[in-house]
Copies of this chain bind each other. A is one copy, B any other.
């Protein structure tokens, strides 16, 4: 028999080839997706396949082990270097077809494999990185044929990899001659977007990484991913060093306004932080920073501006004009002073509007509401809350000025989420006695183990999720009325309710060194924040003409830590089935990672953000009205049917002085509106 039939699964592609044809060659001829960096030289081991033994009636094939050539020298060599192949696995480049066979290409050998994400409900990423590696053997120079090293490299890439018409970075030209000679005319090149040579190494090289970075006002977070496999090899975060120029965004913008060149100072500061983070990430897993060839960035509009060297002052006041609402594409890492490979390219996801940043673009890319039939509400709470509402038909976005109360700031006993901070609270409606949990200790405060494990620091304050819970529990226990006023009459019943000047406070914890109370001012700060958030959501719902949403996704650290039930009791989000309100984790960062691994995703988010309808809360008169109505607990917009299925809300208990309060509060609410 001079020809044999081969069938590749799962694609089902089939064809007849002369006996002796390497499997990889047959696969290529049939357009079957099998990865290879070394181009069939038995070096990279990416082209592994499985023989399916047996009689396959469907295909008309009797597939047998002896229909493939015996274990080759290349395979033995590979196994000596890299450990044994799994049973039945072959390197398709070094295995020849001797008779009919059915060959399975496992996902790990596919170029466009799917990278499985942890959350099952979202589409997996189809790996399609911008940077790919190619190992190539180049003809040595010949005095008689004076073609340059670059030309011979390109000829080799064309004949060995069918890569035609490549452009080349100057640094590749600068490094090419040494690499070729060190590698004895064998080099690995990195090709960007199928069209540009951006790096060259002597010999065989298969390490190529990318970084996905979420530039937060407080925290810089990054994932280091292997671009060939899509795997996250390391993740890390560190403080944004800009914090010393101001805790929140507006104080950093003020710093710039008051200090000529201050934008440059803040840009240098955040870039220094990014470089420190990069070095740490790479060192953690023993990766050379020079092997990082791609980086993607998300951030709110001001962080995005500063990272890319754009003065953000225009974002500090109306009309909040962005310099650019396009993706930043193909920027050289050197232009940003990053410590990764100097030819690495940087991609910045697009900002959407003056208050809706590339972080929101990242959330959209990660959560894909634009593919959803369900109406999705995405909320990313920071100093501002960025809100996206919509589905595959229409998408709206806005930003709401929640202020920092949700992060524990402007709260009398507030603090960052750190050991010692109260994060969970329950209040007995009978006794009004609380019990709570603090970060870093598994026991509740009324359990015996608590005193032992709470640590030397003891209880230090309340973090963002704790303040939500304690206020919601105070409301459920009847300590607060619906307007958020502490009922002073309860002071007679419980020592926990105490006078505090002209108002009252609730004593959550008291020990020898510290008293943690919730004051009327604290409650007012949270009310302002949650009213701003809810008013933004309400505004989008109104613009879309809907009264309810199908799913709510809470992004960011806040979303990850709060109990959604309490968020809903306080009226941060609209009424919804509680089990359809979930945390999206660091969705902005996930968006950066998706953009890192998939070119298609980049084009997708660039298109999607263009059709996002931007709603400006600052100029929308209805926002003020929604805001006032949302000061109540939960708020005055609907009867919360879904929440009431799970929780008994004390909506109808009259307040201490129901007649007087509301009017006064309404006035105050308007004038207290941030910005």
Interfacial residues, chain A to chain B (CB-CB below 8 A): 141-144, 146-151, 168, 170, 173-174, 176-178, 308-311, 314, 318-326, 328, 331, 334-335, 351, 353-354, 614, 616, 618-619
The residue of chain B having its C-beta at the shortest distance from the C-beta of A342 within the complex is B335
Minimum CB–CB distance from A326 to chain B (whole Å) comes to 6
Hey, which chain B residues are within 8 Å of A618, CB to CB? Answer: 143
**A324 and B146 contact, Cβ closer than 8 Å, known pairs A173-B310, A310-B173:** no
The residue of chain B having its C-beta at the shortest distance from the C-beta of A356 within the complex is B146
Minimum CB–CB distance from A613 to chain B (whole Å) comes to 10
Q: State which of B176, B323, B326 has its C-beta within 8 Å of the C-beta of A323.
A: B176
Hey, which chain B residues are within 8 Å of A328, CB to CB? Answer: 170, 173
Minimum CB–CB distance from A354 to chain B (whole Å) comes to 6
Hey, which chain B residues are within 8 Å of A321, CB to CB? Answer: 141, 146, 148-149, 177
> A324–B174 Cα gap in the complex (Å)?
9
Hey, which chain B residues are within 8 Å of A310, CB to CB? Answer: 173-174, 177
Contact indicator B323/A147 (Cβ below 8 Å): no
**A325 and B143 contact, Cβ closer than 8 Å, known pairs A174-B310, A177-B314:** no
> A354–B311 Cα gap in the complex (Å)?
47
**A619 and B144 contact, Cβ closer than 8 Å, known pairs A151-B324, A151-B326:** yes
Contact indicator A323/B146 (Cβ below 8 Å): no
Hey, which chain B residues are within 8 Å of A331, CB to CB? Answer: 170
Minimum CB–CB distance from A572 to chain B (whole Å) comes to 25
Contact indicator A311/B177 (Cβ below 8 Å): yes
Hey, which chain B residues are within 8 Å of A173, CB to CB? Answer: 308, 310, 323-324, 328
Hey, which chain B residues are within 8 Å of A141, CB to CB? Answer: 319-321
Q: State which of B151, B177, B178, B616 has its C-beta within 8 Å of the C-beta of A146.
A: B616
Contact indicator B309/A170 (Cβ below 8 Å): yes
> A323–B179 Cα gap in the complex (Å)?
11
Hey, which chain B residues are within 8 Å of A177, CB to CB? Answer: 310-311, 314, 321, 323
Contact indicator B148/A319 (Cβ below 8 Å): no
Hey, which chain B residues are within 8 Å of A178, CB to CB? Answer: 311
**A150 and B325 contact, Cβ closer than 8 Å, known pairs A170-B331, A619-B143:** yes
The residue of chain B having its C-beta at the shortest distance from the C-beta of A170 within the complex is B331
> A324–B167 Cα gap in the complex (Å)?
12
> A146–B353 Cα gap in the complex (Å)?
6
> A174–B309 Cα gap in the complex (Å)?
6
Most chain B CB within 10 A, of A141, A311, A331, A353, is at A141
Hey, which chain B residues are within 8 Å of A147, CB to CB? Answer: 325
**A150 and B323 contact, Cβ closer than 8 Å, known pairs A170-B335, A618-B143, A619-B144:** yes
Hey, which chain B residues are within 8 Å of A142, CB to CB? Answer: 319
17 new A-B contacts at CB < 8 Å, known A170-B328, A177-B321, A334-B335: A141-B319, A143-B319, A143-B320, A143-B616, A143-B618, A146-B354, A150-B322, A150-B324, A150-B325, A168-B326, A170-B309, A170-B335, A173-B310, A173-B324, A174-B308, A174-B311, A177-B310
A-B contact pairs, 19 of them (CB 8 A): A141-B320, A143-B616, A146-B320, A146-B321, A146-B614, A148-B323, A148-B324, A149-B324, A150-B323, A150-B326, A151-B325, A168-B326, A170-B308, A173-B308, A173-B324, A174-B308, A174-B311, A177-B311, A334-B335
Hey, which chain B residues are within 8 Å of A354, CB to CB? Answer: 146
Most chain B CB within 10 A, of A146, A173, A318, A334, is at A146
> A311–B179 Cα gap in the complex (Å)?
12
The residue of chain B having its C-beta at the shortest distance from the C-beta of A176 within the complex is B323
The residue of chain B having its C-beta at the shortest distance from the C-beta of A145 within the complex is B614
> A38–B415 Cα gap in the complex (Å)?
57
Hey, which chain B residues are within 8 Å of A144, CB to CB? Answer: 616, 619
> A177–B331 Cα gap in the complex (Å)?
20
> A173–B308 Cα gap in the complex (Å)?
9
Hey, which chain B residues are within 8 Å of A168, CB to CB? Answer: 324, 326
> A439–B451 Cα gap in the complex (Å)?
101
The residue of chain B having its C-beta at the shortest distance from the C-beta of A267 within the complex is B174
Minimum CB–CB distance from A322 to chain B (whole Å) comes to 4
Hey, which chain B residues are within 8 Å of A351, CB to CB? Answer: 148
